[in-house]
Amino acid sequence: MKVCKVIGNVVSTEKDAGIKGFTLLIVQPVDMTDLKPESSPFVAIDAVGAGEEELVLVVTGSSSRLTAMTKDRPTDATIQAIIDFIQINGKETYRK
């Protein structure tokens, strides 16, 4: 899983029937200690109702098709959780 920040969305009027009805969000992987960007942004299917600027957990690859909502859907990245707080070695690095 990757910790990412929601930075935008994608609107598509034409898409595969397997992902119709899903919200497509642009997520930016971030470092868990300082929340600075780590790599290039990518698009993920939102399975939990995340919003702009929220920190989320994203699963990629074949595991992204194992949620109840995305089972057997054509996706390579799914937002599975909205993060409330992150604590590393006893130090809180993020709180919603």
Kindly report the number of other CB atoms within 10 A of residue 28's CB atom: 18
Domain span at residue 78?
2-12+34-95
pLDDT of residue 16: 87
Total structural domains within the chain: 1
pLDDT at 39 over 80: yes
Task: Give the model confidence (pLDDT) of 65-95 as tens digits.
Answer: 777 777 778 888 999 999 999 999 999 999 9
Whole-number Å distance between alpha carbons of 77 and 60 = 4
Query: For residues 6 and 64, is the Cβ–Cβ distance under 8 A?
Result: no
User: What's the CATH number where 63 sits?
Assistant: 2.40.50.220
Q: Does 86 map to a domain?
A: yes
Report residue 33: phi and psi, to 5°: -90, -35
Task: Give the model confidence (pLDDT) of 8-35 as tens digits.
Answer: 999 988 888 888 889 999 999 999 999 9
User: Which of 50, 43, 47, 39 is closest to 77 using CA atoms?
Assistant: 43
Query: For residues 37 and 4, is the Cβ–Cβ distance under 8 A?
Result: no
Q: Does 28 map to a domain?
A: no
Q: Does 17 map to a domain?
A: no
